[in-house]
């Protein structure tokens, strides 16, 4: 037997309805907010991520699925959704279209990580990207999409953490202060953080090691070093959130795992699914479009892990939608009547009623058992009598009632129920 690769998952026929449930809500909600879907390839030239994501992150340093294709090009399976969208925005001249450009995606994401609960090598993200606005309202618009999604599915326990990591100007000042603090505490840090000290000290604040967390707790806070512009932006974001009644905590230790962020960063964190509790992370990245070769374009967005969202829903016993089953099962009394049953089903389908019949050659008893197990709303048994008289009985499986109806009116009657 050939097994599934480590860190990947099948979505089986009896559970795909959960994905449809979430995806349908996402599509409705993004439309409600005026976002349009963008689909970019599953793989890109490796240099897009090296440049776009920045070279000091774990994602780029350790986690990418990179290979050489037969044409000797270095190809990488997308480790996140944002860089591909930025490439597409530049390559397709989307800056010429009416701005802001509001896009969303649902995409598989590939990262070579140590698989554990809530951490896969292929996971899926719902992301939104808002290009062309530096306004704090754009930040809040993006945060509101995530918040509305959580509201819609009934999750109230997620905590919104926000922070500002400033712009290259104020961050340079901050980096100096942070570096000098960390230098004094280098002995207490993990080997990875020791390496990070010179290249990207900010990243150290993101470390999950206990001893680094202890050092970080007393580190200077980026929020105290913001320039006037970044400070005003941050204050306005908070004011808008306040006026909308969206609760948040300012968490100075949120820096996010990607290098391209500027100003606002945020995370929605759950306490119900264990260590891998971040369901959604995002922020502003005003320098990314320029980095991938476009003209400077402010942008803000987020990525939300769909597997983690489903984990939260299930751990809180919230709805994950309903199993998708056709409405009617048409059961021929004997195999002589299968053609009649099949024609009835074909007619129902043409009328837009989802229907099924026996294509496996089972006895009526076995068919009824199947229909019960699968959870059909209605069953119609077809015998010689029914065909002769053109009258059938619709059995309502949840009520246990039976109603006679003219065969020619079957679709209409079922649609009415």
Tell me which residues touch ligand ATP (CB under 6 A): 80, 111, 113, 118-120, 123, 125, 257, 276, 278-281, 303-305, 307-308
- Looking at beta carbons only, is 146 or 392 nearer to ligand ATP? 146
For residue 232, give the DSSP letter. Answer: H
Supply φ then ψ for residue 31, to 5 degrees: -65, -45
- CA dist., res. 136 & res. 153, Å (int): 26
CB of 265 to ligand ATP, least distance (A): 10
Q: Find the shortest distance in angstroms from Cβ 71 to ligand ATP.
A: 29
Q: CA 72 → CA 66, 75, 138, 385, distances in Å?
A: 12, 9, 41, 70
- Taking residue 80's Cβ as centre, other Cβ atoms within 10 Å add up to 24
Q: Rounded to the nearest 10 degrees, how much is the dihedral formed by the CA atoms of 323, 325, 328, 332?
A: -120
Minimum distance from CB of 33 to ligand ATP (Å)? 19
DSSP, collapsed to helix, strand or coil, labels residue 68 as: strand
Q: Which is nearer to ligand ATP, 161 or 297 (CB)?
A: 161
- Its sign, for the CA torsion 23, 28, 31, 33, is negative
Residue nearest to ligand ATP (CB): 305
Given the complex with ligand ATP, which of 208 and 295 has the nearer CB atom? 208
Return the number of the residue (38 or 255) whose C-beta is nearest ligand ATP.
Answer: 255
* Minimum distance, C-beta of residue 22 to ligand ATP, in the bound complex (Å): 13
How would DSSP label each residue in 106-135? Answer: EEEEE-----BTTB-SEEEEEEEEEES--S
Residue with Cβ nearer ligand ATP (78 or 234): 78
Of 88 and 125, which has the nearer Cβ to ligand ATP? 125
Residue 25 CB, shortest distance to ligand ATP, in Å, is: 16
- Spatial neighbors of 53 by CB under 8 A, at least 6 apart, are 59, 60, 79, 80, 83, 258, 259, 260
| DSSP bridge partners of 114 | none
Look at residues 387, 375, 370 and name the one whose alpha carbon lies nearest to residue 334. Answer: 387
**From the CB of 77, what's the least distance to ligand ATP, in Å?**
13
Look up residue 261 and give its two tokens: 């962020």
By DSSP bridging, strand 122-131 and strand 159-164 are unpaired
First to last CA, the chain: 47
Closer CB to ligand ATP, 125 or 287, in the complex: 125
- How far, CA to CA in Å, does 12 sit from each of 308, 316, 408? 17, 22, 37
Q: How far is the CB of 57 from ligand ATP (least distance, A)?
A: 9
CB closer to ligand ATP out of 78 and 111: 111
Of 84 and 303, nearer to ligand ATP (C-beta) is 303
Task: Choose between 201 and 303: whose C-beta lies nearer to ligand ATP.
Answer: 303
- To ligand ATP, the closest distance from the beta carbon of 108 in angstroms equals 11
Minimum CB distance to ligand ATP, residue 16 (Å): 18
Q: Which is nearer to ligand ATP, 38 or 53 (CB)?
A: 53
Dihedral, CA of residue 240, residue 246, residue 248 and residue 250, to nearest 10: 0
The minimum distance between CB 123 and ligand ATP, in angstroms, equals 3
- Compute the least distance from the CB of residue 367 to ligand ATP, in Å: 41
Under 8 Å between Cβ of 145 and 300: no
φ, ψ dihedrals at 348, nearest 5°: -60, -45
Query: Where does 102-245 have alpha helices with state H?
Result: 136-153, 168-184, 191-199, 201-204, 210-217, 228-244
């Amino acid at each position: 037997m050939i097994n599934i690769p480590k860190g990947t998952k099948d979505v089986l026929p009896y559970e795909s309805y959960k994905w449809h449930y979430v995806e349908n809500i996402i599509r409705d909600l993004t439309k409600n907010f005026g976002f349009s879907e963008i689909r970019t390839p599953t793989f890109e030239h490796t240099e897009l991520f090296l440049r776009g994501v920045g070279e000091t992150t774990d994602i780029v340093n350790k986690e990418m699925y990179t290979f050489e294709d037969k044409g000797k090009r270095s190809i990488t399976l997308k480790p996140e959704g944002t860089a591909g969208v930025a490439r597409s925005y530049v390559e397709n001249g989307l800056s010429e279209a009416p701005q802001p450009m509001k896009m969303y995606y649902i995409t598989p994401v590939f990262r070579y990580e140590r698989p554990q609960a809530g951490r896969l090598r292929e996971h899926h993200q719902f992301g939104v990207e808002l290009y062309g606005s530096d306004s704090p309202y754009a930040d809040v618009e993006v945060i509101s999409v995530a918040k509305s999604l959580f509201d819609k599915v009934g999750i109230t326990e997620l905590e919104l953490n926000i922070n500002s990591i400033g712009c290259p100007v104020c961050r340079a000042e901050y980096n100096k202060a942070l570096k000098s603090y960390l230098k004094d505490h280098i002995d207490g840090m993990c080997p990875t953080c020791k390496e990070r000290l010179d290249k990207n000290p900010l990243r150290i604040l993101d470390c999950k090691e206990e001893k680094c967390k202890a050092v970080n707790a007393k580190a200077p806070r980026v929020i105290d070093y913001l320039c006037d512009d970044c400070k005003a932006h941050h204050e306005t974001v908070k004011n808008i959130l306040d006026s909308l009644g969206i609760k948040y905590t300012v968490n100075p230790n949120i820096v996010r795992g990607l290098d391209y962020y500027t100003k606002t960063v945020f995370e929605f964190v759950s306490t119900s699914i264990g260590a891998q509790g971040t369901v959604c992370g995002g922020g502003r990245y005003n320098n990314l479009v320029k980095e991938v070769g476009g003209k400077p374009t402010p942008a803000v967005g987020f990525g939300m892990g769909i597997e983690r969202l489903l984990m939260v829903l299930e751990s809180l016993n919230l709805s994950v939608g309903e199993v998708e089953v056709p409405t009617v099962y048409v059961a021929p009394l004997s195999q002589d009547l299968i053609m009649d049953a099949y024609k009835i089903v074909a007619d129902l389908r043409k009328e837009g009623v989802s229907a099924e019949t026996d294509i496996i050659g089972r006895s009526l008893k076995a068919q009824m058992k199947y229909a019960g197990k699968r959870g059909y709303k209605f069953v119609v048994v077809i015998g010689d009598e029914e065909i002769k008289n053109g009258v059938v009985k619709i059995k309502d499986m949840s009520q246990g009632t039976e109603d006679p109806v003219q065969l020619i009116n079957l679709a209409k009657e079922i649609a009415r129920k």
